Copies of this chain bind each other. A is one copy, B any other.
Amino acid sequence: MTIKTTESGVKVRGGRSTREAILEAASRLIHVHGYNQTALDDVLRESGVGKGNFYYHFKSKEELGYAILDQIIASFLERTLEPCFADPEGRALAQIRCFFDRVLETQRERNCVGGCPLGNMALELSDVHEGFRARLASVFSAWRERLTLVLRRAQRGGEVSGECRPEAVADFLVASLEGAILLTKLTKDIVVMEQCVAEMKRYLSLFEPRT
Contacts and interface: CB of A to CB of B under 8 A. Distances in A.
Interface stretch (A18-26, A67-75, A84-92, A172-180): A172-180
Nearest to A183: B175
A171 B192 contact: yes
A180 B182 contact: no
Interface in A19-41: 32-34, 36-37
Secondary structure at the A interface, as helix, strand, loop or mixed, is: helix
Contact of A33 (B119, B127, B176, B187): B127
Interface string A93-115: 00000000000000000000011
A198 B168 contact: yes
Contacts of A174: 179, 183
A169 interface: yes
B176 A172 contact: yes
Nearest to A119: B182
Contacts of A182: 119, 122-123, 175, 178-179, 182
Given A172-B176, A172-B195, A199-B168, A34 B127 contact: yes
Contact of A37 (B36, B137, B175): B36
Chain A contact patch, size range: 35 or more
Contacts of A36: 36-37
Contacts of A128: 37
Nearest to A182: B178
A191 to B, nearest CB: 8
Given A37-B127, A168-B198, 20 more contacts: A36-B36, A119-B182, A120-B123, A123-B124, A124-B124, A168-B199, A169-B199, A171-B183, A171-B195, A171-B196, A172-B195, A174-B183, A175-B176, A175-B180, A175-B183, A175-B192, A176-B196, A179-B180, A199-B203, A203-B206
Query: 5 tightest CB-CB pairs across the interface, nearest first?
Result: A179-B179, A175-B179, A172-B199, A168-B195, A178-B179
